[in-house]
Amino acid sequence: MDAIPLTLDGYLAAEAEPGDRVGTVSWRLTCSASTDHLVDEAVIPCTTMEPEIAHEMLTERQPGDLLRVVGHLTLPVTADGIIQLHAESLEVLWAAPVLNVDDDDDAGDTATVMDADADRNKAIAALAEAPTSCAQDGPGPGQSIRLHISPTGALGSGLEHCHGFDVTPAIAHRLADCIDAMNCFMDMDSERPDSVLLDPRTVADLNELFEDINLTDLTNKVLNATRPEHRAAVTQAMDDMFGDIPAPEDTDQ
């Protein structure tokens, strides 16, 4: 069967290893988005005979790196065979930062880290679920935008918390608008004083002011200043604001 040209984005599942044949390097790529030939969350074996790619995979790349592999996918001839992507070019889309872990950390620090990781993973799941539901119908061909969400650090066995999905430009604009609106509210909250209390004398003055308002007189004055054809709508608007107001005197006199 002929090899299929394929470009694949995915996370490096484990450290690359020398292949069975001399000059080859093998690794596994975890893919979280579907293609015509793959299913969601598939782990695809990759190999290469390109010296530059082999050297980079063995010396520079680490688990959790997000890679774009371009090559040809070979399908198994027999039922017990495996598919394999033969890489011809490699692009690093995102490099996972290296974590320095102190072996002398006590149990309390470990528990704190585990709690923080659990909170982070829940947040990632919630963050990935919202735009994924927006993209459930699938973007049209040639107009998709790829989004990636993943934890920072060397992922290792945490690849299940990596997500990739496509959205349309329209959905991307809506997401950007929502984030802008959220930022506005956050800015307003940061500028607002923690506690604002009115002087009791000011509160008393305000109460006295509103208690002195005669709604009937107010209605008469508003309706006298309103054109006849608009009075019904104005009366309804005032009723909506102040409640049922006693019927005013004849304002034409």
pLDDT of residue 158: 63
pLDDT exceeds 90 at position 58 = yes
Report percent pLDDT > 70 for the chain.
66
Contact 8, 35 (CB under 8 A): yes
How far, in Å, CA of 21 to CA of 24, rounded? 6
What is the three-class DSSP state of 64? coil
- In the Cβ-directed half-sphere of 180, how many Cα atoms lie within 13 Å? 6
pLDDT of residue 252: 47
| This prediction's pTM | 0.45
Instruction: Give the tens place of pLDDT for each residue, 72-123.
Output: 999 888 877 888 999 999 999 988 876 554 555 555 565 665 677 777 777 8
Residue type, 10: G
**Which H or E element spans position 146?**
strand 145-149
How far, in Å, CA of 64 to CA of 16, rounded? 12
Phi-psi group of 198: left, alpha or beta (phi > 0 → left; psi -120 to 50 → alpha; rest → beta): beta
pLDDT of residue 192: 52
pLDDT exceeds 90 at position 38 = no
pLDDT exceeds 50 at position 250 = no
Tell me which residue of 112, 99, 114 sits closest to 63, measured CA to CA: 99
Residue-range domains of the chain with CATH: 4-94 (2.40.50.140), 109-191 (no CATH), 200-242 (no CATH)
Residue type, 140: G
Q: Kindly report which listed range (13-17, 67-71, 223-227) carries the lowest average pLDDT score.
A: 223-227
Mean pLDDT estimate for the chain:
75
What is the three-class DSSP state of 36? coil
How far, in Å, CA of 65 to CA of 67, rounded? 6
Q: Kindly report which listed range (51-55, 167-171, 242-246) carries the lowest average pLDDT score.
A: 242-246
Contact 215, 245 (CB under 8 A): yes
pLDDT exceeds 60 at position 71 = yes
Q: Strand (E) positions, 20-114?
A: 25-31, 42-48, 66-74, 84-94
Tokens standing for 76?
């198994």
Report percent pLDDT > 90 for the chain.
21
